[in-house]
Chains A and B, each alone.
Chain A
Amino acid sequence: MNAEQSLAPAAATSAASRKRRWGPHLWPYLFALPFVLAYAAFQLYPVVYSFVLSLHDWNGISEKTYIGFKNYVQLWTNDPLFIKSLWNTLIMMLMFIPLTLILGLVLAYWTFQLTRGKRLFQTINVLPYITTPVAIGFIFSYLFDWQTGLVNLLLTKFGWLQEGFYWLQDPWGSRAIIALMVIWRNLGYFMIIFMAGMTVIPQDVYEAAKMDGSTGLHTFRKITMPLLRNITVFLVVTSVIGGLQLFDEPKLLYGGWSGSAQVGGPDNTALTVIWKFVDESFISNTRFGYASSIAYSLFVIIVFFSILSYRLTAPKEDKR
C-alpha cells in the first residue's frame, strides 16, 4: 500500500516516456507486493525464525542459548514420546483417511442421484464440518463416557455388555473414537468435494456408456471413479497434510474444555505430534526451542508424506 501511495505523485510529475518505461514493468510487482509483504511478514519470517529458534534453548523469557542441532538429536534419538506421537498420528490417519474417502465417495454418489431432498441431505451432512470443535469434543466425550455415556448405557441396556466399556481409557478405543470424530466431521466436506467433481463429468460420457450397455456399479467403477481421480488426489494429499496436524479432536476429547486436561490420553496413545508440540511449549514444559524442532521435524515429515501420497495416487502421466 505504501509503495503505491508514494508512487502516485512521482508518476504524475514524470515524463510520458519515463512513465512508459517504468509503468508496465512495475505494475505486476506492485500488484503482487501486498501479498508478498504479508507472506513475508506472517509466513516466511515465522518459518525462518522458528528454524533459528529450533537451534536454541529458550523458555520464551530468558536469554536464548545456541545449542546447534542438539534439539533434533534429542528429539529423534532420545524422546520416546515423540516417536510414539508420530506413530499414533500415522495409525489414526490410517484409520480415518481411507474410510472417509470411501464413505464420502459412496455418500456423494448416492446423494448425486437423489431427485428429491438433495439440498436437505447435503446440508445435514455438512453440518458437522461447520460445528465448533469444542462442541464436537463435548458431544463425543459425553457419548463415550465410562459411567454415564450414552453408548455404554445402550450397550448395557441391551445386554451386550455386563459393565460399561472404558472407551476413553483404552489404547485402541481412544484412537478409534478420535478417528470416528474426524470421519464424522469431514465426511460432509469430502462428500461436497466429490459431488463437485461429479458435476463436471460431462453427461455425454455417461450417455455413451449407457449406449454401450454399461449400467450401475460398472458405470461407477469404470466412468465415475477414474474421472474423479484428480479430486481424489486432492483429497488424499490435503487430508494427509491435515491428518499429520491432528490436534483438535484428541485434545478436546480429553478435557480441552475442563480444568484438569489429560495430556495424551491413556498411556499417551492419543498423543499426536502437534499435541506433543503444544505440551512441550506450553503445558508440561516451556521449551520453545525444542518445540520448534518438533515443528520443523513435522514440516519435513509432511513434505515427505505429501510427495509420497501424491506419487501413490496421481495418474501416471502427472507423476513427473
Chain B
Amino acid sequence: MTVVNPNDYLQKLQSGIASGSDVPDVILGESAYRGKLFDLGVLDNLEGAPYNFDKSSVLDFTVPYISNGKGEVIAVDQAITPAGFAYRRDLAKQYWGTDDPAELEKLISSWDDFIAKGKELKDKSGGKVLMMPGLGDAFIALKGQNFAPYVNGTEVDLTAKVKEPLNKLFEMRDAGILGKNELWTPAWSASMAKGEFMFYPMAPWGPKWHISANDPDGKGRWGLVKAPEGGFTRGGTAVGIYKDSKNKEAAWAFVQYAYLSDEGSAYNFKTFGNMTGSKSFYETHKDLIEAPGPYDEFFGGQNLAKYFMEKIVPDMKGEPQSKYDSVVDGVFNALYPLWTKDTSVTADAALQKFIAETKNKASDATVK
C-alpha cells in the first residue's frame, strides 16, 4: 500500500498508469481534479456489467457530478456536498439580534440583501467583523450557484460562467464587506476561532474537517443557513473503478457497500457526518436524519442533515464536469489575491484577464 497526499494523487495515478505499474482498483476523484480524471478515460462505466448501477437510485442533482462527457456514470459520490453558509451565532445575535437560521434566511434571501446586511455589520462592528474572510470564499458560492454548463468540446464559454459571479463579487469587494484572506492560509483558518467573519461556505463535510477543526472550542457558537438565492456544491470526492482492474467485482462490492448501501451509509453518517447520495437511505433511515448528528451539538443543536436535505438540496442542480474546471479554478486562485490587493481593477477588466489567463493555460481550447 502507498499513502499519497491528496494534492499528489492524480499525478501519482497518471505516472502509475503511464509506467504500467500497479494501479488501485478503486480510484478517488476529488472535486479539484475530478473533471480531469473523468477526461482521462481510466474509469469503468458503472452502468454496464458487472456493476449495473442504476443512476435513478441516487439524488438527481448528483448525476452530472459522477458522469463523464459521454453521459456515462463512471463514479459514485463518497458523500453529497450541497453547501450553505456556516455562521457565527454569537456574532449574528450581537449585531443582528437573532441567531435563528429561519430568521437569517430572510435577512439574506438575496445577494443584494446580503450586501446591505454586510454594510450594516461592518458599520455596527466598527469594521471589526465582516461578512466573509475573502474573495475566494464568496466566489465559491457565487460561481457554484451558476450551474449552467460552460464547456462544449473545446469551447469554453467563461463569460457565461463567471461574468455575473464576478460582478457580484466586485460589488461585495467594493462595499468592503469581504476580508483580505486567501483560502486555506493560516490566517484564514485562524479567523474562524477569532470571530472576525460571519459566514463560511460549508458542505456536510465542513463541520468536522473545517469548522470544528479550526475552532475546537467553538461548540455551540456555529449555525448553518442556506446561501442567498440557493445552494451550490463545495468539494466532494467521486469514487470510481479502474477500467483494467482485475478485481472489479470486489471493488464494486466495497464501493457499493461503503457509499450506497443503507448500512454503509449509516456508518458513514454516524461517524463522519457524511451524507450518501443514495435515495433509499433517506427513506429507510429517517430516524437517523431526525436524530442528532455527530456535529449537531457543535452547531447549537441545529439538525444539520435535516437542514441540508430540506432547505438546500431541493434547489440544487448538477454541473457537468470538464477537464477545464481545474484550469479555471487554478486561474481564479492565481488572480483573486491581486483583485483583493488592487481595488482599482474593475469586474470587466477582471473578466478579460480571467479569459486571457485561461487561454494561456488551456491552449487547445477556444475561450470566450
Residues of A within 8 A of B (CB): 59-62, 74, 78-81, 141-142, 145-148, 166, 168-170, 255, 258-268, 279, 281-286, 288
Contacts and interface: CB of A to CB of B under 8 A. Distances in A.
Contact of A258 (B18, B136, B185): B185
A285 B337 CA distance: 22
A60 B186 contact: no
Contact of B330 (A79, A141, A263, A267): A263
Interface of B is mostly: helix
A168 B337 CA distance: 9
A112 B277 CA distance: 69
B116 interface: no
Interface in B176-210: 180-187, 190
A66 B181 CA distance: 46
B181 A147 contact: yes
A259 B182 CA distance: 11
Interface of B: 6-7, 10-11, 14-15, 17-18, 32, 36, 40-42, 136, 180-187, 190, 326-327, 330, 333-335, 337-338, 340-341, 357, 360-363
Nearest to A264: B334
A79 B6 CA distance: 29
A255 B32 CA distance: 15
Contacts of A142: 186
22 contacts: A60-B40, A78-B363, A79-B360, A79-B363, A145-B185, A145-B187, A146-B180, A147-B180, A148-B190, A169-B338, A255-B185, A259-B7, A260-B183, A260-B333, A261-B7, A263-B334, A264-B334, A267-B338, A279-B361, A282-B14, A284-B361, A286-B40
Nearest to B357: A268
A279 B334 CA distance: 13
A80 B15 contact: no
Given A258-B184, A262-B333, A266-B337, A284 B362 contact: yes
A101 to B, nearest CB: 33
A78 B7 CA distance: 29
A256 to B, nearest CB: 8
Given A78-B363, A169-B338, A262-B334, A284 B326 contact: yes
A80 B185 CA distance: 29
